Structure 1
Amino acid sequence: MGESMQDFCDEEQQAPSSNSVGCVSCTTFNILAPIYKRLNGQNCESEFRELWLSRNESILDRLLTLSSSIICLQEFWVHNEELVTMYEKRLGDAGYVTYKLARTNNRGDGTLPNFCSVYLASNVVTFLGLLTAVHQNHFHVLNYQECLFNDIGDRVAQLLHVELLVHFSENQLTNTRKEVLVMNTHLIFPHDSSYCFVRLKQVYKMLKYIDSYCHENELPPVPVILCGDWNGSKKGNVYKFLQSQGFVSSYDIAHPYTNDAEDLSKWISHHNHRGNVCGVDFIFLHNPSNYQRPVKESFMEAVLGNINDLSHKLSTKGVGPLHFFETDSSHITYSQFSHALAEVFPSSYLKNLPNF
């Protein structure tokens, strides 16, 4: 599926010294679970051990060649013991410590092809999720947390609090500590417009989880790295929401682009299950020294922006605009707002609308 990588280097790297941090790197990769890899319209790859085993061996070869400091994988076949053992052994032998997390409620990581359903009904190996690996020569893992979206599409996220290992000469003393928070996730696919609300709620929950973790552990402002398959492009509301929170795509840093259609389509990470080429695998970076708006404020703005977008789309189909201000006051109540939405939007949209 998709892969992206970004190096993060010490500013003084151009003149290396005995205490230079050097470079660390991060890779995010949706490795396409064998239960979702379609072969011929009648079978899925999970039915043929030699095929999925060979492909995943090749994936590991590539990952070990890259030797990234942090590896974030999505669509990891968590409950296939042979595959899990292969990843843990090869990555462990290469110096990585690994963490895996299955989706909640025994869910997979995508829309199951119909021709795979019969096969999987008799095989309790459908559980998918995430795997994050950290190279022990580069980072020390201070803490590991699991963020579960039981109420929001059964998705999950992994949060790792890591400390950069700075190698100094024997006669040097330092109190320098460089810490970072790393989160790996896989957002739900936008099957229709109503899923935009679900996806925004998933991101909101992650950012609130990070805020709570920092508060509970009394952390000073630290850099944050968000990795994963976001199932949305640069033009989507999730991308704009993260931008409003001060996050920057590492790809955009390496490859500056404009907002015209040609530039926006340059980033392609993989073909999705509908056969469309898309760029949805991102590494988002947050510099703690940058100003950050209150997350709830940005979230509400993103949701209202999404409602506005949907309203315009519906108006092109002959559905009238929203009449919010049918009162004499300069504001409306939540009840009035909900009633106005119910008059225009189908119930499939409203059931995914978040509560503020």
Structure 2
Amino acid sequence: MTKERNGEPVGDRRKQQQKRNMKKRMRMGCGSMVGSERCVSCTTFNILAPIYKRVSEGDQSCRESQCRAYWLSRNERIIDRLLGDRSSIICLQEVWLGNDELVDMYEKRLGDAGYVSFKLARTNNRGDGLLTAVHGDYFKILNHQKLLFNDFGDRVAQLLHVESVVPFWHGQKSSVQQQVLIVNTHLLFPHDSSLCIVRLQQVYKILQHIETYQKEHNLDSVPIILCGDWNGSKRGHVYKFLRSQGFVSSYDTAHQYSDVDAHKWVSHRNHRGNICGVDFIWLLNPNKYRKPLRTSWNEAVFGIIKYLLRAASLAEDNAFAFLKVDSPGDYITYSGFCQALHQLGVAGHPHGLSPDDTKDLWIQADTDRNGAVDYEEFQQRIWSPKCREPLEEQIAGETGGTQAREGGQLAFGFNVKDAVLFPPEVEQGTWPENYSLSDHAPLTVVFSPVRIPCGQPVC
């Protein structure tokens, strides 16, 4: 028989106490010391701009922005929670930057608590945007850059280059004040399958910008943290694209979840009433296994092409015939390939693949460079490509699983120490009706520093 205390089963009380203890650790994460290590924490949260929040089921045009008392109270509670968590880094999406009173409230309260904040509005006066805040006790800002995608959806991203104020590592002869690259973004919502390419292009532009910045500032051996609302789940093409580049989902790493565990947690209830996991904090530690960016991009686009072919109920043979179009032989021609991509909706319009993108895909598909793609090449590149993700031992290196080798070149990275979503129900794959902060759940991750071996010429 289950024992009870104060009308509550002991087992349930133990689970709740464990949850409270974890939350306590999360709140302590940004300032806690583990041996000689100083942990840092990061929170990402889409706070739902009042211009988008519906307040009446009967009247869809009625928005929270029309009632000051509503949006003011909700955002005050959001800030209370953020300040209670005391993360070293805060990345917010859908901040109502078109309202000076709300912006001033965030900047003042965060500033009074020791944060330095940067805001970036979406293009074409959309009304909302991003706000990234870094606590001055843990990081100093070396640089801040704005990334405007200038494409459908008016999406933007922020890149912050920071350095730890207090050394993370103390050695007998030296100490390390480590630099980190932080990105905050909010990708386009996939209203239809034709926007898959747009969302992939947005991520490609972010990674391309990071790669360029690293080369310009000689930053090959620094960890990268990507935060935001990615508007796509673990089953999506963006997720696979980032994985192919060596990034790991911090929450899934902390809980040892694999791709088949996508149903175990959610972070968003969208305007269609669907619950899904779309908010991520991605981590990339410096290592020598990173695949060339354009290679990952081409593989991801081939993945979208296969998805669309299968969505059209085309089996392997029929898919090959579709791409072959009216070719007289048993092969795909370049003109037929272009025509098929137009029919699939991934090319031939302003937001689809450019002619250069299509040409680059063709070069990748035509492995023997004879001007045609035969059935074997179709299988190898489009239908059944080899594994696109790093090997498990490579991923272990990404998450700090390798140990420093004596005499080898050392770099600095992060271990994922802990991660939590709020409210706790979302960690069980459900959405509580009484949750009112946003239509997204805040995600907080605690990182502990780790020294890792680094190869040449690229870490």
TM-score, length basis structure 2: 0.65
Q: Who is 1:131 aligned against?
A: 131
| Equivalent residue runs for 1:48-59 within 5 Å | 48-59=67-78
1:124 corresponds to which residue?
none
Q: Which has the larger radius of gyration?
A: 2
Structure-2 residue corresponding to 1:271 = 269
Distance 1:247 1:347 in 2: 26
Write the distance in 1 (CA, Å) between the matches of 2:28 and 2:77: 26
Aligned twin of 2:300: 302
TM-superposed deviation, 1:100: 0.2
Gaps (5+ residues) in structure 1?
A: 108-126
Aligned to 1:82: 101
2:284 is equivalent to residue 286 of structure 1? yes
| Change in 2 beyond 3 A, CA 1:84/1:175 | same
Greater relative contact order (CA < 8 Å, ≥ 6 in sequence) = 2
Q: CA deviation at 1:348?
A: 8.5
**Which residue number corresponds to residue 445 of structure 2?**
none
Aligned residue identity for 1:57: E
Partner of 1:149: 149
CA distance 1:258–1:312, change in 2 (3 Å): same
What is the rounded CA distance, in whole Å, between the counterparts of 1:149 and 1:8 in structure 2?
A: 36
1:105 Cα offset (Å): 1.5
CA distance in 2: counterparts of 1:327 and 1:288, whole angstroms = 49
Identity rate of aligned residues, in percent? 56
Amino acid of the structure 2 residue aligned with 1:224: I
Query: How far apart are residue 8 of structure 1 and its match?
Result: 12
Q: 69, 94, 106: which one pairs with 2:88?
A: 69
- Equivalent-residue separation in structure 2 for 1:224 and 1:35 (angstroms): 32
Q: How does 1:328-347 map to 2 (within 5 A)?
A: 332-333=333-334, 335-342=335-342, 344-346=343-345
State the secondary structure of the residue aligned to 2:193: coil
Q: 8 Å contact 1:201–1:354 — kept in the other structure?
A: no
Aligned length: 323
- CA deviations 1:113-163 (Å, max 9, x no partner) are xxxxxxxxxxxxxx1100000000000110000000112431000000000
> 2:38 matched to which residue of 1?
22
Mapped partners of 1:246, 1:302: distance in 2 = 14
CA contact (8 A) 2:161 2:180 kept: yes
Measured on the aligned residues, the alpha-carbon RMSD in Å equals 3.0
Which residue of 2 is the match for residue 44 of structure 1? 63
Classify 1:304/1:60 alpha carbon distance in 2 versus 1 (closer, same or farther; 3 Å). same
Name the structure 1 match of 2:114.
Answer: 95
Alignment deviations for residues 38-81 of structure 1 (CA, whole Å, 9 cap, x no partner): 11132110000000000000000000000000000000011200
Give the deviation of 1:341 after TM superposition: 2.4
Q: Does the 8 A contact of 1:7 with 1:23 survive in 2? A: no
User: 1:354 is matched with which residue?
Assistant: 353
Q: Give runs of ≥4 in structure 1 deviating > 6 Å.
A: 4-10
TM-score by length of 1: 0.83
Aligned-pair CA distance for 1:23: 0.9
Separation (CA, whole Å) in 2 of partners of 1:219 and 1:346: 38
After superposition, the C-alpha distances for 1:257-278 in whole angstroms (9 at most, x for unaligned) are 2443xx2111211211111111
* Distance change >3 Å, CA 97–CA 13, structure 1 → 2: closer
Please list the CA deviations of residues 272-315 of structure 1 after superposition, one character each: whole Å capped at 9, or x if unmatched.
11111111010000011251001111011101110110111113
Mind listing any 5+ residue stretches in structure 2 that lack a counterpart?
1-22, 358-459
Superposition deviation, residue 330 in structure 1: 6.7
- Secondary structure at the aligned position of 1:62 is classed as helix
Residue identity in the other structure for 2:39: C
Match of 2:5 in 1: none
SS of structure 1 residue aligned to 2:148: strand
Q: Deviations over 1:185-226 (max 9, x none)?
A: 000000011111110000000000001111122223210000
Question: Distance in 2 between the 1:7 and 1:207 partners?
Answer: 30
Q: Give the aligned partner of residue 178 of structure 2.
A: 178
What secondary structure is seen at the aligned counterpart in 1 of 2:182?
A: strand
